[in-house]
Amino acid sequence: MATILNGKELAATLRAEQTEEIRKLAPLAGRPPGLGVILVGDDPASHAYVKNKRNACKEAGIHAPEINLPHDTTRETVMEWVDKLNADPRIDGILVQLPLPPHIPKDDILLRIDPEKDVDGFHPINVGRLVIGEDTLVPCTPTGVMTLLSRYGIPVKGKKAVVLGRSLIVGKPMALLLLAADATVTICHSKTANLSEETRQADILVAALGKPLMITKDFVKKGAVVIDVGISRNDKGKLVGDVDFDSVEPIASAITPVPGGVGPMTIATLLENTLKAYKKRNHLS
């Protein structure tokens, strides 16, 4: 039976560590860390995500003001709010919740964020730093995956890793982080020929395609570590991932559940990135 990589439990442990670190650092900085959140529109999933992030920030002692804007907010108004947060000395990280309404160009908004406050790690400057191997703010989901592997003592060095998906949010940074940890990395995507042949080579398989239950046991080598980043709802409203857990779990050596695997680690890493930016801006170790 596979080891269940319980992201929910690990995220709780990380939050406890973050809370203690903030308790010690806040008197030195004269304030707690600050995370400014901009939410545009009424997307239920976005509001749910922001609520979870708000609760996690409150638990850890992070100041997290929210700017809630209506769906018909203009691009210029969102830019103005980003500028205010960039200039606010109490704010160390800025999160613009995606997706934005179609009339607001996402790239324009993300480019406006100060790279030193870009706790999502999406700014081209931070992407470039990641590519060349500089220490920087890295997207939360792939960083959370690396933390999960590390805390569970799963070796990466010298392993064959296959990443399914090539998005800027997960797939590409995931591959770069695995490469930096000395794995041999293959990126697969919707146009990859003979996909199952590629995935069956993986010691570590990261599924981030957004295709529910696509990865069955036929795609997985016996003893592989399987990380399921996908999350969606099936016809019955149940949350499922990209991996068919029931068929894969008996042959994997370790696997993340959905829910309760990678998702909580993403929020824990958002807090960690905020704390990292806070320490850098306040010259704290």
Nearest Cα to 61, choosing from 109, 113, 118, 18?
Answer: 18
> Token pair of 224, please?
């592989």
Neighbours of 20 (CB within 10 A): 12
The residues that are catalytic are 53, 97, 120
> Token pair of 245, please?
């857990």
CA–CA distance, 213 with 244 (Å, rounded to integer): 4
Residues contributing to the annotated binding site: 165-167, 231
Q: Specify the length of the chain in residues.
A: 285
SS (H, E, C) 88-100: CCCCCEEEECCCC
Residues contributing to the annotated binding site for NADP(+): 165-167, 231
In the chain, the N- to C-terminal Cα span, in Å, equals 41
Nearest Cα to 234, choosing from 214, 256, 208?
Answer: 214
What lies within 8 Å, CB to CB, of 256 at 6+ separation is 4, 5, 7, 148, 226, 227, 228, 241, 262
